[in-house]
Amino acid sequence: MVWNLPNILTVLRLLAAPLVAVMFLYFTRPYADFFALFLFLTAAITDWFDGYLARAWKQETKIGTMLDPIADKAMVVIALAVILGYSTMTAWLVLPATLILFREVFVSGLREYLGEVAGTLKVTVLAKWKTTVQMLAIAVLFSQGIFEHYLTMSTWGMDEEMVDGMLTGRIEDTQGLQWKLSGMQWSGRFGLWLLWLAAALTAITGWDYFRKAMPHLKEGR
């Protein structure tokens, strides 16, 4: 393996993927959400940099080309698994996440079957946008967990009447419950909207890849 900077960034991103889940094993929330969000955003930024630097410095390698989509998929799949595991598992979250996970597994299997031919099926601009929207949606959903747990922490020791009074404005909101609740609600809604958009792009790009692969899916290929 050629250890140039783009490949090093790709490998670091691949290693960071399981650490997103590990954060929730060794840290309490919301600190786990903070660390997971930081890792995820850092990995997402390096995703752009390693590709840009590889092209700009003419350091594109076969191993880098192979590892880059694996790192992307690992980040998305593991992060979605963590979000699903710590969520209320509503259909609005489970359905787009399931579609994204199914597509990633299906396309990976298709690439393996096609072997060397898979390299001729280039990544489209829409597929790159799909990955970008997926990562943005996951980052926003991680931020919802941060708002949610700071809201919960701020209400410790309060009875329901006091919490309701602060949220409705009848009592002075000394704990910032209103803005924490708004942050939780809007990050949740925006994250779900982005996740559904990502799921739509996932379905479109998955079908496009399958359509292009159809001529190669013949018995005795």
The pLDDT mean for the chain works out to 84
| Distance between first and last Cα of the chain | 31
pLDDT number for residue 219:
55
Q: How far apart are CA 163 and CA 117, in angstroms?
A: 61
pLDDT number for residue 120:
62
pLDDT number for residue 102:
92
pLDDT number for residue 107:
85
Report the alpha-carbon angle 33-37-38, nearest 5: 120
Question: Has residue 220 got a pLDDT over 70?
Answer: no
Task: Write out pLDDT tens, residues 95-130.
Answer: 999 999 998 888 888 887 877 766 666 777 888 888
Which range has the worst mean pLDDT, 48-57, 160-169, 178-187?
48-57
Mean pLDDT confidence for 29-36: 82
Which residue segments constitute the domains of the chain, with CATH numbers given? Answer: 5-214 (1.20.120)
Place of tokens 């003419």: 58
What contacts 40, CB < 8 A, 6 or more positions away?
Answer: 20, 75, 79, 135, 138, 139, 142
Q: Compute CA distances 184 → 4, 147, 181, whole Å.
A: 41, 5, 5
Pair 40, 79: CB distance under 8 Å: yes
What contacts 136, CB < 8 A, 6 or more positions away?
Answer: 194
Task: Write out pLDDT tens, residues 175-185.
Answer: 889 999 999 89
Which range has the worst mean pLDDT, 23-27, 53-57, 91-95, 164-168?
53-57
